[in-house]
Amino acid sequence: MILAIESSCDDSSVAIMKASDFSLIHYEKISQEKEHAKYGGVVPELAARLHTAALPKVILRAKEHFKALKAIAVTNEPGLSVSLLPGIVAAKALATALNLPLISVNHLVGHIYSLFLEGPIKLPLGVLLVSGGHTMILGISKTGVISVLGATSDDSFGESFDKSAKMLGLGYPGGPQIQNLALKGDDRAYDFSLPLKGTKRLEYSFSGLKNQVRLACLELENSRIPSENSRISNKNSRIPSENFRISSHQKANIAASFERVACLHIIDRLKLAFSSQKWARFGVVGGASANLRLRSMLESLCASYDCELLFAPLEYCSDNAVMIARAAVAKYHNKDFCQNLEMHPRSSLENLKII
Ligand code: KG4
Ligand code: ZN
């Protein structure tokens, strides 16, 4: 069995997987969402302290399996350095105490492996990775080599939901909040413009859309509170972290219009990738792949290209140690151990491999 630790952002998680048949023996995750919610996003210092308190507890709750362990795996890249560090230190301490080898796992590779938790690895494959930190279109070759075909030049897809939710005063994480509120709104109420429309660039950009949300909020607030108008001379002077005082009906319309255009942007750029790649199968991973509107638009896209669409199980879309354990088992079978495990907070996916 392999014990895996994940702590790259705001979840402290441990999983144990059997190397012979990939069966899950143990899994626990302590999420810090509630603690970060009042700040509208992850506060690194707080995340570090919470990981330091949670990790020893979750690791010890797996103690009955320690005797059966053959290796300790840990996410060492990419992520918040102060979040990665407690996980790496815990993994090194455990590996030393139990005299076991260490396996390092790239968090994004872990997300890709979440596609293969319930079935065999299928390659070649196109992948959309949509999380809080990343938005990427990936190509994975027959031999498992990962290439980054396109990425965001500013905010990620998930981050744009988090920031829009913060402006609407909806709490953190913003993805599920926007999705739920959007169901009550009119997604055509605002004609937000589609980022990079008409260009052939295989990249994403969500900062302009986020700004359109901010301006829509500001305009509504200004029209509601005339006494405050005089104090706001330059509408760009308001920072987008403020909660605007607008009605819940208007918030729902903004959420729905934002979600429609954000998902449309994902699909619009994917069409470019599909026309050149001829993928027979396509997988979608990362926390934001839980978005139902995105899922249904991807279903239509893949159907029109006669392409098989793979999703990770919903419970393993967001950060978790199960996907890290699955990636680690593949490395264990290849005897890919790490003698000198180091942290790389900003590493990319280029030149990494599946299996
Ligand atoms: O993969 P993940 O758990 O953490 C990172 O590695 O970043 O992704 C978290 C991100 C957050 O930005 C969250 O708002 C977003 O995924 N998310 C969603 C939904 N559920 C989570 N975004 C849109 N719609 C959702 N339903
Ligand atoms: Zn993630």
Reported as a single tens digit per residue, the pLDDT across 242-276 is: 567 889 999 999 999 999 999 999 999 999 999 99
Going by pLDDT thresholds of 50, 70 and 90, the confidence category of residue 48 is: very high
The alpha carbon of 161 and the centre of ligand 1 are apart by a number of angstroms equal to 8
Q: Which ligand sits closest to the CA of 158? A: 1
- Domain ranges for the chain: 2-117+316-333, 125-311
Contact 162, 174 (CB under 8 A): yes
The alpha carbon of 8 and the centre of ligand 1 are apart by a number of angstroms equal to 14
Residue among 109, 137, 77 at smallest CA distance from 267:
137
Percentage, residues of the chain above pLDDT 70: 95
The alpha carbon of 48 and the centre of ligand 2 are apart by a number of angstroms equal to 17
Residue among 321, 322, 353, 332 at smallest CA distance from 103:
332
Ligand 1 atom at minimum distance from 286 CA? 1
For ligand 1, atom 1, name the residue with the nearest CA.
287
The alpha carbon of 162 and the centre of ligand 1 are apart by a number of angstroms equal to 8
Dig out the tokens for 283 from the structure. 């997988």
- Partners of residue 204 on adjacent β-strands: 152
Q: Is 133 in the pocket of ligand 1 (CB under 6 A)?
A: yes
Q: Is 79 in the pocket of ligand 1 (CB under 6 A)?
A: no
Q: Is 174 in the pocket of ligand 1 (CB under 6 A)?
A: yes
pLDDT, averaged across the chain = 93
Contact 30, 58 (CB under 8 A): yes
Whether 125-311 and 2-117+316-333 are alike in CATH topology: the answer is yes
Structure confidence at residue 262 (pLDDT): 98
Contact 287, 317 (CB under 8 A): yes
User: Which of 291, 294, 295, 347 is the best mutation target for the ligand 1 pocket, counting ligand atoms within 8 Å of the beta carbon and taking the most?
Assistant: 291
Dig out the tokens for 26 from the structure. 């143990």
Reported as a single tens digit per residue, the pLDDT across 108-125 is: 999 999 999 999 999 999
The alpha carbon of 233 and the centre of ligand 1 are apart by a number of angstroms equal to 35
Q: Regarding the domain delimited by 2-117+316-333, which CATH topology (the fold level of the hierarchy) does it fall under?
A: Nucleotidyltransferase; domain 5 (3.30.420)
The alpha carbon of 187 and the centre of ligand 2 are apart by a number of angstroms equal to 28
**Cα→Cα distances 213→53, 166, 283, 329, Å:** 37, 11, 29, 43
The alpha carbon of 90 and the centre of ligand 1 are apart by a number of angstroms equal to 26
Write out the residues surrounding ion ligand 2, Cβ under 5 A.
131, 319
Q: Which ligand sits closest to the CA of 131? A: 1
As to burial, measured by CB atoms within 10 angstroms (0-12 exposed, 13-18 middle, 19+ buried), residue 5 is buried
Reported as a single tens digit per residue, the pLDDT across 184-211 is: 999 999 999 999 999 999 999 999 999 9
User: Which of 161, 204, 264 is the best mutation target for the ligand 1 pocket, counting ligand atoms within 8 Å of the beta carbon and taking the most?
Assistant: 161
* Mean pLDDT, residues 294-309: 97
Q: Is 40 in the pocket of ligand 1 (CB under 6 A)?
A: no
pTM to 2 decimals? 0.93
Ligand 1 atom at minimum distance from 172 CA? 14
Contact 193, 205 (CB under 8 A): no
Structure confidence at residue 295 (pLDDT): 97
Residue among 147, 150, 126 at smallest CA distance from 136:
150
Structure confidence at residue 225 (pLDDT): 56
| CATH homologous superfamily for the domain 125-311 | ATPase, nucleotide binding domain (3.30.420.40)
The alpha carbon of 237 and the centre of ligand 1 are apart by a number of angstroms equal to 29
Reported as a single tens digit per residue, the pLDDT across 87-104 is: 999 999 999 999 999 999
